[in-house]
Structure 1
């Protein structure tokens, strides 16, 4: 199956790291378009992305990750979208190809990454249910763009899981042992990093209740092709 894939990268103050992510997708033979949504950055993220050849959508002021993704999705028309966080380390074109492969081969409806430094529990059970790196049909989320703008900043992944399970879609879990996401404490300092992690969990559980989150983990893992 030949897929038309757009790569969508939400970014907030990731100028020191975004080059590594863009290096894996710009010029990739399976990626038709690369769009960075600069979500109110103050460190030159937009300029860094443009200098490397990416298309950039700038939002002012900062709206949060979910709203940034909604704005980016509204700009795309490709059938499939590759979602990537902007701060990944060790990402390369081969990892991108592996994430696309099960969807392109018709073996799965979408693909979810399992990074090498994902929490031990997620690696042990074989799924990171809040992974920000996925390949999925754009039509799964475009009917819900208005609702996305009303979700908390980090509510996107758990809301997306809800859509996946309601539609009965088959995910593939693709292990990325060479890829890591830096801890927030490393980027922001210990206390600000802890506060950011707590805020992210709060956003998730304002989007879905804890019992539904636990059910998502079990049901996605049961449906997954690994």
Structure 2
């Protein structure tokens, strides 16, 4: 990892109950220089939990969505690379984190993307989760795009980043995490609120890349991906 350094960004909204398990895997990790939780206007103890478990904390003044939270975090990054981790993961371990960083640190891939054990069946079949929230990549990929992030939809970040990765035309490592899961929104928020949240996410994606744009993204990402 000579010459490379990694900042871990964790956007979080009302994740006080699940955040400790995630922080246990990343705070103090030997491959990470910083761990920063961006509290996206939570109404629970997310911010206090982050500080109690040794993470740095940024607070958004109000809930503005994942993209804006990540923009706030990215503005503070001074390391060569970034690793993004969702705040609600179950089963995350230091070993899993290291496996996401390893292909990028070794120079085998330009970026890496997780494929969780409970990712939708179709994503596991095709071998890529195009909206995975867990990624490692050079800060140079996104540094010149921070202003553009301010114009994206709440959940437009991953597909926007995909476009940058495709434009870079460099290898992307798909890192399988069979032991790691992300709870469904219906489990976290209740059935109807969860379904509405999923629908809102899909609308944001469609408005960012077009209704059929995700098909093209998947094809191009698969062309660049390596197991």
What range is the shorter-chain TM-score in?
A: over 0.9
**Counterpart in the other structure of 1:75:** 76
Structure 2 distance, partners of 1:210, 1:104, is: 35
Deviations 1:167-199 (A, max 9, x none): 212100000000000000000000000000000
Shift of 1:139: 1.2
Instruction: Report matched runs for 1:35-114 at 5 Å.
Output: 35-114=36-115
The 1-side partners of 2:36 and 2:103 are apart by 23
Gaps of at least 5 residues in structure 2 are none
User: Is it true that 1:159 corresponds to 2:160 in the alignment?
Assistant: yes
RMSD (CA atoms): 0.7
State the alpha-carbon separation in 2 of the partners of residues 223 and 72 from structure 1: 27
- Report the counterpart of residue 188 of structure 1 in structure 2: 189
The whole-number CA distance in structure 2 between the counterparts of 1:61 and 1:16 is: 20
Which range is displaced more, 210-219 or 110-119? 210-219
Whole-Å Cα distance in 2 between the matches of residues 103 and 166 of structure 1? 18
Count of aligned positions? 226
Q: Check conservation: 2:206, 2:213, Cα contact below 8 A.
A: no
Q: 1:63 and 1:142 mapped to 2: Cα distance? A: 21
* Structure 2 match to 1:125: 126
Structure 1 Cα separation of the partners of residues 211 and 159 of structure 2: 11
Q: Which secondary structure state, in structure 2, belongs to the residue aligned with residue 214 of structure 1?
A: helix
Question: What's the TM-score once normalised by structure 2's chain length?
Answer: 0.98
Question: Following TM superposition, by how much is the alpha carbon of 1:212 offset from its aligned partner in structure 2, in angstroms?
Answer: 2.1
1:219 deviation in Å? 1.1
String of CA shifts for 1:194-225, please: whole Å, max 9, x gaps. 00000000000111113321011011112111
Q: Which residue of 2 aligns with 1:27?
A: 28
Name the TM-score, length of structure 1 as normaliser. 0.99
1:204-219 equivalences under 5 Å are 204-219=205-220
Match status 1:15 vs 2:10: no
Cα separation, 2, equivalents of 1:194 and 1:130: 17
